[in-house]
Amino acid sequence: MGVPKIALIGGGQIGGVLAQLFVTRRLGDVVIFDITQDMPSGKALDIAEASRIDGFDSKINGTNDYKDIAGADIVVVTAGVPRKPGMSRDDLLATNAKIISGVAENIKTYAPNAVVIVISNPLDAMVTLVQKATGFPPSRVIGQAGVLDSSRFASFIAWELGVSVKDVNAPVLGGHGDTMVPLIRYANVYGIPVLELLTRKYKDTKKASEVLEAIIARTRDAGGEVVRLLKTGSAFYSPASAAVQMAEAVIRDEKRVLPVCARLAGEFGVTGYYAGVLAALGKGGAEKILEFDLNAEEKAMFNNSLDAVKKLVEDMGRLGF
C-alpha cells in the first residue's frame, strides 16, 4: 500500500481517540465518518491543528458523506450506542444491529477491499453482522475485544506482582461478555506461570488462588467498572489503543499474534461462529488462527462462552438481522 487510508465509522468517544492515535503514530491518512452533522469535521480539525506539535503530516478529515471513505484500506467501526450504568452489552443488540447493518452496506459499497475492525457492542454479534452483510471473506472482518480484555488481565497481574506489564502475557479468549475466558494456565511473566509467582509471594496456595480469582473477576467486570465510574458512557481510551494495535499489525503486515474476535472454521471444535481466539494479523486480516489444547475446564468455559455468542446471534436473527 502507498499511504494507508484509514476510515473510522463513528466519531464519538472511541472514534476521536482512534483518530488521534492513528495520525500521531503516523499509520496513515484518516477519515472520520459520523451521522452527526459537522462533529467529525470539528474533531478532525482539532486533531489536525496539533500536527505541528505532534509532528505528523498525515491527512485527517471528518465527513458526513460515505463517499469520502472510498478505497479505505482499514475501516474501524464504532458506530452505535455505548452502554450506561446498569446495562449489559447485550442490551445494545437491537439498537446497534440496525445501525451496523446500514454501516456494513456502505463499507461494502465504498471500501470493498478493506480489512474491517469492529468495536461496536455486543461485539461478537456485530462482527458477525458486518461479515454477513458485507460478504467479505471472514479473515477480513475481525473484532476488537480480546486485545483489551487481555490487557486488562495483564495490567491487574502486573500491579499485583509489582512487575512491568510489558513482561506479562495473559490471554483472554471466548466471547466479549460476562462469560469471557481468562486462560490462567497460559498467564505468565516471562514464561513463569502467574499462579506459581503468586504462591511464592503469599507462601500459601489457597491465598494465591483467591488473589488470582479476584483478578479474574475484576477482568470480567472491567468494562462495567469503568462504566460505573464514568456514568455517561463506556471505556474509550483503552478500546481505541487496542484497535490501533490490531490495525498496525495489518498495515505493517506484522503477523503479530493477538487475541481477536475471528470466525472459526473448525478450530476448537467450532465452525461458522465468531469468538475470541489467538490469530496472526497481517495484511489479509486474521491470516491464521492458532489452535492449541484446552484442558477440560478451559474447554467447558470456552463452550459456555460460545453458547452465549450463539444465543446473541440467534436473538439477532429473530430481530431480522
Judged by the rule CB under 6 A, the positions of this chain that interact with ligand A3D are 9-15, 34-36, 78-83, 92, 96, 99, 102-103, 119-121, 123, 144-145, 148, 176, 233-236, 239
Q: Which amino acid is at 58?
A: S
Give alpha helix (H) positions in the chain.
13-24, 39-48, 51-54, 93-110, 123-134, 146-161, 194-202, 205-220, 222-230, 237-251, 296-318
Question: Which phi and psi (to 5°) does residue 168 adopt?
Answer: -105, 130
Q: Is the peptide bond before 182 cis (omega within 30 degrees of 0)?
A: no
Q: Rounded to an integer, what distance in angstroms lies between the CA atom of residue 146 and that of residue 270?
A: 18
Nearest to 122 by CA among 303, 316, 319, 286: 316
DSSP output for 204-237: -HHHHHHHHHHHHHHHHTHHHHHHHHHSSS---H
Given its phi and psi angles, is residue 57 left (phi above 0), alpha (psi -120 to 50 degrees) or beta?
Answer: alpha
Tell me the three cell numbers of residue 245: 494495535
Shortest separation between residue 306's beta carbon and ligand A3D, angstroms? 17
Q: Which of 173, 77, 187, 71 is nearest to 121 (CA)?
A: 77
Q: Which of 5, 43, 176, 220 is catalytic?
A: 176
Place of cell 469503568: 226
Cell representation of residue 310: 450463539
Cα pseudo-dihedral 204, 206, 211, 215, rounded to 10: 140
* 176 has catalytic annotation: yes
Catalytic residues: 176
